[in-house]
Amino acid sequence: MVSTSTQPFGLLVIGSGPAGVHAAAAYVEAGGPGLVCLVSADPDEPYERPPLSKAVLAGEEPAEGSPILEDDSVWAQIDLRLGTHVDTLDTDRRRVRTSDGQELAYERLILATGSQPSALPGADPGARVFTLRSLEHGRRLLDAVEDSRSVVVVGSGFIGCEAAASLAGRGLQTTLVTPEPAPQVARLGDWVGARIAEWLEAVGVELRPGVEVEGVERPATVRLDDGSSIEADLVLAAVGVTQSQALLTESGLLIEDGHLVVDEELRTSNPHVWAAGDVARAQHAVLGRALSVEHWGDAITMGQLAGSNAAAQGPGGTGTSGRWSDPPGFWSEIGGHTMKYSAWGDGFEETRVVEHPEGAFTVWYADAVGEVVGVLTHQCDEDYERGGELLVRRASLSEALGAATTGESS
């Protein structure tokens, strides 16, 4: 039986990740009209995901979840419904239907449904293959790790590299399998790939580059396309994320590459609906084209913007709308080495490495016309901050290198 809430919520948010939580909080803080409800399929109180592949998996922090909001007083003004999946969205009637049979009406809707981890193709049903996206996934993985001595991590993206270093650091015999010649070469270039490989090997990770996984046989034997196989106690699949929810594909909202298309103010193709975080393909106000980014800090920025923009809209609206203009970026920690990366995220033609004393470095990325399109730093926060400014100013590589006086460029 479907039960319908008669009074529409002033704002309904779907998703309790950083985008959803900050959207709801920003709306409340901006004094947006009506009641606010946040619905999430995740049963846990909103928590930070980044530690899951780092300190939590390494056994240095408990798998309890650090809260997303520092000041939690705003929750008193939000109707938080956890463990509740939103199954369907009717944008004409401005209603959603949830897994517990509720129909919720809204004036404004913010979709912040994030990403879902991709499955590892070719894995036998019942094989000990894990993914890592949520706290619940983290707890399941940690339970399995307790009675395991060996693990194969598939995928050399940031989560794969971080998780492999964490697992090796707690004493598991860890093999990282990747089709790339070295971790993250396609995204970050050969030089950085070699550094990450060194860091991983230094904590005991065995690298198997240049191979694809063909299948996983029960319980956890990984078959590779070079004819070899690796027997392990468990497999962690870190092979990227997808956007494939029926909720979105059947919503009638404009979608590109699975992402919801939004403008600079994070409005979807429907005037009552905004989207923020991993799920959005957002027009960037400085770059002048659309980007899909999957970073924690950007999800916060976009969530805050969507929340305050929604508050400014419609009868009783407060404040003014803002545009998404920050350079995208994130931090990663691999075996105790922190990297900070800010980039438009759609490739580069040229890299310049600047090495600083004591192993610190900066890598500048430029496009075909010599414009800075990214910066990656290790122990050089000054360049990271400056890199963000140069990106936004669409500055040249020579300007970036002109100020790089502390190291050698190669």
Which residues are at the interface with ligand FAD (CB under 6 A)? 14-20, 39-42, 49-50, 52-53, 85-86, 112-115, 132-133, 159, 245, 247, 277-279, 294-297, 299, 330-332
Q: Which is nearer to ligand FAD, 161 or 354 (CB)?
A: 161
The identity of residue 126, as a single letter, is G
The identity of residue 354, as a single letter, is V
Minimum CB–partner distance for residue 101 and ligand FAD (Å): 14
Minimum CB–partner distance for residue 40 and ligand FAD (Å): 4
Residue 126 contacts residue 215 (beta carbons within 8 Å)? no
From residue 348, alpha-carbon distances to 185, 210, 392, 397 in Å are: 12, 22, 16, 12
Minimum CB–partner distance for residue 370 and ligand FAD (Å): 28
Q: Which is nearer to ligand FAD, 98 or 362 (CB)?
A: 98
Q: Which is nearer to ligand FAD, 135 or 216 (CB)?
A: 135
Q: Which is nearer to ligand FAD, 20 or 374 (CB)?
A: 20
Tell me if residue 210 falls in helix, strand or coil: coil
Q: Look up residue 66 and give its two tokens.
A: 């650090």
Minimum CB–partner distance for residue 194 and ligand FAD (Å): 21
Minimum CB–partner distance for residue 357 and ligand FAD (Å): 26
Q: Which is nearer to ligand FAD, 107 or 278 (CB)?
A: 278
| Long-range Cβ pairs for the range 334-338 (8 Å, 24+) | 334/158, 334/161, 334/162, 334/165, 334/196, 334/199, 334/200, 335/165, 335/168, 335/169, 335/199, 335/200, 335/202, 335/203, 335/205, 336/165, 336/199, 336/203, 337/199, 337/378, 338/378, 338/379
Closest CA relative to residue 372, chosen from 386, 354, 356 = 386
Minimum CB–partner distance for residue 334 and ligand FAD (Å): 10
Residue 343 contacts residue 375 (beta carbons within 8 Å)? yes
Q: Which is nearer to ligand FAD, 32 or 160 (CB)?
A: 160
Minimum CB–partner distance for residue 98 and ligand FAD (Å): 8
CB-side neighbour CA atoms (13 Å) of 383: 31
Q: Which is nearer to ligand FAD, 187 or 352 (CB)?
A: 187
CA 165 to chain centroid: 19
